[in-house]
Amino acid sequence: MINEEQLEKEIATLKKELMWHKVAISALIRQVVSPEDKVNLVVHPISRTCVFR
């Protein structure tokens, strides 16, 4: 049985791992998508439809 302290350590470890995955994904996106290719996405607040410019 896992105790509370072990569980908290495991959660902290998983949070750190998740953070590094987010950093890695962001870096990959920056490499793949150039600023010229980015699409401006505007969400219309009333109809909640997406409009691409």
pLDDT tens digits, 1-53: 779 999 999 999 999 999 999 988 888 877 777 666 655 444 444 555 544 44
Q: Count how many domains the chain has.
A: 1
Domain that holds residue 12: 4-52
**Cα distance between residue 23 and residue 39, in whole Å:** 21
How far is residue 50 from each of residues 36, 38, 42, measured CA to CA in Å?
A: 20, 15, 6
Check residue 43 and give its pLDDT. 46
Say if residues 50 and 43 touch (Cβ distance below 8 Å): yes
Measured on CA atoms in the order 16, 21, 26, 31, is the torsion positive or negative? positive
pLDDT given for residue 31 in this prediction: 79
Task: Report the number of secondary-structure helices (H) and strands (E) in the chain.
Answer: 1, 2
For residue 28, what pLDDT is reported? 84
Location of structure tokens 């470890």: 13
